[in-house]
Amino acid sequence: MATEGKKVDPVDELVGILDLERIEVDRFRGFTPPSRSIRIFGGQVISQALVSACRTVDGPICHSLHAYFIRPGNPEVPILYEVDRARDGKSFATRRVIAIQNGEQIFNLAASFHTKEEGFDHQQDMPDVPAPEDLTSEAEQRLSMAQQLPEPMKSAFMAEQPIDIRSVKPQNIINPQKLDPENFTWIKLKKRVAADDQHTHHTILAYASDMSLLDTCVRPHGVNFFKGAQMASLDHAMWFHGDFRADEWLLYVQESPKASNGRGMNFGRIYRRDGVLIATVAQEGLIRPYKSKR
């Protein structure tokens, strides 16, 4: 946990919350960083649950996860992660993880692990987009808009994130415009981490994968979390296809084929900079229209 009054590097903070406390063989305790004071970020619970599952597997690497958000989490209360070792086979292992606060499930996750093997190989090509060095970071965009917000909202709006996000066609966060339901975004951990194992980079990417995907389905409607819509992730699925580092640039191709009945559907493909597709993501979220917060 952060020392009161001392600024904590956001990458160190992320790495810290992923270092779960083991309190029993298959039980772990996770915490929320002080920078989160309103509610727990969905990507945090996904990544912490995946860490719990990974710590009970010896050898195989996660190739898929499927998760449901059940209740909003309280950032002031520790999260208990209980792992069920559903199966350990010769090639595959399966784990189920339940996240609990105050005796109630707030989230559950199923993850499958696979021992690497040779097989058929093909992929959808990476789109041709501008390089991340030629784009403005989301942090810089937020800095330029901060003065338009009332004082109570500024600190949350300007909270430093561990992930550098650079959108090819960014949305105006304060006054969102109607845009196509797609978004091409470069993402990268803001500084290099010492860990080389894929478990670590999978959990960091799982965290980052929830940072902008749900925004895709509200782009055609000219609303967002700050203005015009109540938004919350309902479920999250992710498939890992190959090796990568989360501290190197990855292109997150996001698109939304449908929104209806107060829900929006989103899909994502994540590529290494050399064009290799390393992950696929799917998420449905709650997107209820309501009057502006401002």
Catalytic residue among 164, 210, 215, 247: 210
Q: What are the φ/ψ torsions at residue 250 (nearest 5 degrees)?
A: -130, 140
**Would you say 108 and 80 are in contact if contact means Cβ atoms under 8 Å apart?**
no
For the record, the structure tokens of 96 come out as: 């189920």
44, 233, 254, 256: the catalytic one is 233
Q: Any catalytic annotation for residue 210?
A: yes
Which own/partner pairs from 214-217 qualify as long-range (CB within 8 Å, at least 24 positions apart)? 214/264, 214/266, 214/283, 214/285, 214/287, 215/171, 215/183, 216/181, 216/182, 216/183, 216/254, 216/255, 216/256, 216/264, 216/266, 217/181, 217/256, 217/258, 217/259, 217/264, 217/265, 217/266, 217/285, 217/287
288 alpha-carbon distance from chain centroid: 21
Torsion angle of alpha carbons 166, 185, 65, 68, nearest 10°?
80
Tokens of 56: 């009970």
Query: Is 12 among the catalytic positions?
Result: no
Apex CA 231: angle with CA 204 and CA 248, to 5°?
20
Cα dihedral sign, 166-217-155-75: negative
CB neighbourhood size of 191 (10 A): 13
Cα 254 versus chain centre, distance:
13
Q: Cβ distance 148 to 176 under 8 Å?
A: no
- Supply the residues annotated as catalytic: 210, 233, 283
